[in-house]
Amino acid sequence: MNNLYPIKTKVSAAQRHQLLNQRPLLIWFTGLSGSGKSTLAVQLEAELHALGFKTYLLDGDNIRTGLNKDLTFTDEGRIENIRRIGEVSKLMLDAGIIVLSAFISPFEADRQQVKNIVGADNYLEVYVNTPIEICEQRDVKGLYKKARAGEVKNFTGIDSPYEEPRHPDVTILTHTMSVEESVRELMKVVGPVVKLKI
């Protein structure tokens, strides 16, 4: 750090967390486009919120249209996208929030970097493992069709790589499970970590 002197606040992270009465956590969803990241993150957030947890969902639409609107889908663009999201997540965790992040995040090194940024204890990786054939059949946004036609370049799984997570905390097979079953699986893992208030 060059000539930078971060201020020392009077309120500590622990005090903020105590006031909110929860343990912050980053729930990091990774998977192909159309795998089910947003669907699961939206539903899981709704369930946590209904139980009284303070949450925030970060996904492509609220980040790539705002903070990261200068970034493309080249490898470099994706690397910087994930780095910034890791830093934003860190700030939100410091504030005491349970953060749900839904980004393709195709590179293992970048996911590891996020884990390092926020601290391993605060990071829970969810691999939304849906075969590309199923994602392509779903084609929720019509992007696979465009990518096959060459109208969208550097599309993940077609002409841009997706590296499978090596050690995900949870793997969800959306092609064999309903959304409800998948969220129940997630709650089983997330619940004990954030210490459900029941």
Ligand X SMILES: Nc1ncnc2c1ncn2[C@@H]1O[C@H](COP(=O)(O)OS(=O)(=O)O)[C@@H](OP(=O)(O)O)[C@H]1O
Q: Which does 168 bind (CB under 5 to 8 A by kind): ligand X, ligand ADP, none?
A: none
Beta carbon nearer to ligand ADP, 21 or 62: 62
Assign 3-state DSSP to the chain and report helix, strand, coil percentages, each to 5. Answer: 45, 15, 40
Q: Does the footprint of ligand X cover residue 64 (CB under 6 A)? A: yes
Beta carbon nearer to ligand X, 23 or 154: 154
**What is the spatial distance between Cα 176 and Cα 191, in angstroms, rounded to a whole number?**
23
Which residues between 90 and 149 bind ligand X (CB under 6 A)? Answer: 103-106, 141, 143
Q: Does the footprint of ligand X cover residue 152 (CB under 6 A)? A: yes
Concerning whether 101 is annotated as a catalytic residue, the answer is no
**What is the spatial distance between Cα 124 and Cα 172, in angstroms, rounded to a whole number?**
13
Closest CB to ligand ADP: residue number: 36
**Residue 32 annotated as lining a ligand binding site:** yes
Closest CA to 27 of 18, 37, 36: 37
Beta carbons within 8 Å of 93's beta carbon, 6+ residues apart? 24, 25, 26, 99, 118, 122
Beta carbon nearer to ligand ADP, 9 or 137: 137
Which residue among the candidates 105, 160, 178, 182 is catalytic per the annotation?
105
Is the Cβ–Cβ distance between 194 and 53 less than 8 Å? yes
**Residue 51 annotated as lining a ligand binding site:** no
**Residue 36 annotated as lining a ligand binding site:** yes
Q: Interface residues with ligand X (CB under 6 A)?
A: 33-34, 37-38, 60, 64, 73, 78, 81-82, 103-106, 141, 143, 152, 154-156, 160
- Binding residues for ATP are 31-38
User: So which residues are the catalytic ones?
Assistant: 105
